[in-house]
C-alpha cells in the first residue's frame, strides 16, 4: 500500500501560509508517500497565488477551481504556467455544456491531463487532482491510496488501518486537521483495477461487469465502516484509462468503447477519466450531457477528464507514453 497523495488543503492562501506549508510538505520524506500535493480554495485570485508558490519539484498544486460560468481563459493561463499546476471547472448548469465542450476541444493533449470537469452540487474536497479543492473551513490534510494488491489479497482493512494510523500521526506532526481518506480503488499502470474487475466479472466489457463494479464499491465502503475510517471525496472504484494497462489494452483492441465505459460509470465508478477521445465537438457535447444525466441519478461526485486526440488511433503523452484512442460507438 502506498499513500497515493498526501494533500494539504489551504483555506486562505497567503504568501506566508503557502510558503510555510510547502516547506513542511517538502520535508516529509516517508517512503510510503508517492506524491505530495497542495490544494487551494475555489475561485481565488490565481495570479497572486501563483506568484507565491515556491519552486519545489516534489509538490503539485490544484490551483484554480471555477464555476462553469467563469472565464475559461483563466484555466488555460494556469495550465500553461507550470506543469505542476492543475485546474477544474464545476458544471451544474447544462447551458454551459457547449462552452465547456469548445474548451476541451481547444486543449493540447498533455495539458488536458491536468484539467477536469466536476459534475456535482459543490466543489469537492478530495486529494485527487485536478478536481480536489480546499473547500473547507480550516486548513486540513487528507490522503488517497494505491492499494490494488491489498484489495486482491483480501487485505483492504489492513491497508485502511495502516493509512488511517499514518494520517493521524502526520496530521499531528504537521498540526493540521485530519479530514479522512479518499478510499477510491485506483490503478497505476500494471497495478490494474481493470484486471480486478475482469477476474470477477469477465473481460471488459461484459454485462456482468456492471454488477461487479457495484459489488466492489460496496466492499470498499464496508471496509471503511469496519476500520472506522472517514471516507471523503469520490471514495469509489476508478477506471482512468490512461493509468491502467488492462483498460488501455481493452480500448486498443476495441472491446471497451466510450459508450460501454459510460455505462460502467452509472454504477458508481467515479467518472469518465483520462480517456483519449477524437477531437469532435458534437461528441464532447453528447458526453457531457450524458454524464450530467448520470450524475443527477447517482447524486455522487462525477469527474470528466477527456484527452483530445487526432483520430489516428493513439496519441503520445509525455508522462504516460502511448495512449489508445477510444471508439465512440
DSSP string covering 243-269: GBHHHHHHHHHTSS-HHHHHHHGGGT-
Report the C-alpha gap between 81 and 87 in whole angstroms: 12
Q: How many CB atoms lie within 10 A of CB 45?
A: 9
Q: Name the fold adopted by 2-324.
A: Anaerobic Ribonucleotide-triphosphate Reductase Large Chain (3.20.70)
- Determine the pLDDT at residue 278: 97
- Determine the pLDDT at residue 222: 97
Sign of the alpha-carbon dihedral angle for 116, 290, 69, 41: negative
C-alpha cell of 135?
A: 473547500
- Determine the pLDDT at residue 269: 87
- Determine the pLDDT at residue 157: 98
User: Cell 493540447 appears where?
Assistant: 108
* Contacts for 17 with CB less than 8 Å, ≥ 6 apart: 10, 139
How do the pLDDT tens digits run along the chain, 329 residues long?
Answer: 999 999 999 999 999 999 999 999 999 999 999 999 999 999 999 999 999 999 999 999 999 999 999 899 999 999 999 999 999 999 999 999 999 999 999 999 999 999 999 999 999 999 999 999 999 999 999 999 999 999 999 999 999 999 999 999 999 999 999 999 999 999 999 999 999 999 999 999 999 999 999 999 999 999 999 999 999 999 999 999 999 999 999 999 999 999 999 999 999 889 999 999 999 999 999 999 999 999 999 999 999 999 999 999 999 999 999 999 999 98
- Determine the pLDDT at residue 268: 84
Q: What is the pTM of this model?
A: 0.96
The Cα-based distances of 197 to 179, 259, 260, 291 in angstroms read 29, 18, 14, 22
Burial (CB count <10 Å: 0-12, 13-18, 19+), residue 133: buried
Three-state DSSP at 151 gives helix
Residues facing residue 12 across a β-bridge: none
C-alpha cell of 147?
A: 492499494
- Determine the pLDDT at residue 243: 97
Q: What pairing do the DSSP bridges indicate for beta strands 115-119 and 302-309?
A: antiparallel
Using an 8 Å Cβ cutoff, are 8 and 170 in contact?
no
Using an 8 Å Cβ cutoff, are 34 and 162 in contact?
no
Amino acid at each position: 500500500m502506498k499513500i497515493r497523495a498526501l494533500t494539504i488543503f489551504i483555506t486562505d492562501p497567503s504568501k506566508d501560509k503557502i510558503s510555510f506549508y510547502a516547506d513542511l510538505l517538502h520535508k516529509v520524506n516517508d517512503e510510503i508517500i508517492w506524491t505530495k500535493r497542495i490544494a487551494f480554495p475555489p475561485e481565488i485570485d490565481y495570479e497572486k497565488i501563483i506568484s507565491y508558490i515556491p519552486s519545489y519539484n516534489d509538490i503539485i498544486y490544484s490551483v484554480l477551481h471555477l464555476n462553469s460560468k467563469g472565464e475559461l481563459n483563466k484555466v488555460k493561463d494556469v495550465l500553461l504556467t507550470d506543469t505542476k499546476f492543475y485546474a477544474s471547472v464545476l458544471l451544474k448548469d447544462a447551458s454551459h455544456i457547449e462552452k465547456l465542450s469548445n474548451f476541451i476541444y481547444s486543449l493540447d493533449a498533455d495539458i488536458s491531463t491536468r484539467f477536469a470537469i466536476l459534475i456535482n452540487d459543490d466543489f469537492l474536497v478530495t486529494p485527487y487532482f485536478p478536481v480536489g479543492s480546499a473547500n473547507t473551513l480550516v486548513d486540513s490534510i487528507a490522503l488517497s491510496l494505491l492499494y490494488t494488491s491489498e484489495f486482491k489479497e483480501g487485505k483492504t482493512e489492513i491497508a485502511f488501518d495502516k493509512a488511517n494510523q499514518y494520517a493521524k500521526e502526520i496530521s499531528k506532526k504537521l498540526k493540521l486537521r485530519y479530514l479522512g481518506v479518499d478510499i477510491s480503488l485506483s490503478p497505476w499502470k500494471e497495478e490494474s483495477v481493470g484486471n480486478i474487475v475482469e477476474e470477477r466479472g469477465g473481460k471488459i466489457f461484459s454485462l456482468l461487469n456492471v454488477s461487479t463494479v457495484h459489488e466492489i464499491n460496496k466492499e470498499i465502503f464496508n471496509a471503511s465502516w469496519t476500520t472506522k475510517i472517514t471516507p471523503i471525496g469520490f471514495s469509489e472504484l476508478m477506471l482512468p484509462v490512461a493509468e491502467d494497462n488492462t483498460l488501455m489494452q481493452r480500448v486498443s483492441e476495441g472491446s471497451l468503447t466510450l459508450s460501454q465505459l459510460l455505462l460502467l460509470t452509472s454504477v458508481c465508478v467515479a467518472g469518465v477519466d483520462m480517456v483519449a477521445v477524437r477531437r469532435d465537438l458534437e461528441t464532447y457535447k453528447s458526453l457531457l450531457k450524458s454524464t450530467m444525466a448520470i450524475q443527477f441519478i447517482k447524486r455522487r461526485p462525477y469527474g470528466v477528464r477527456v484527452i483530445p486526440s487526432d483520430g489516428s488511433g493513439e496519441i503520445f503523452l509525455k508522462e504516460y507514453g502511448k495512449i489508445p484512442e477510444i471508439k465512440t460507438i
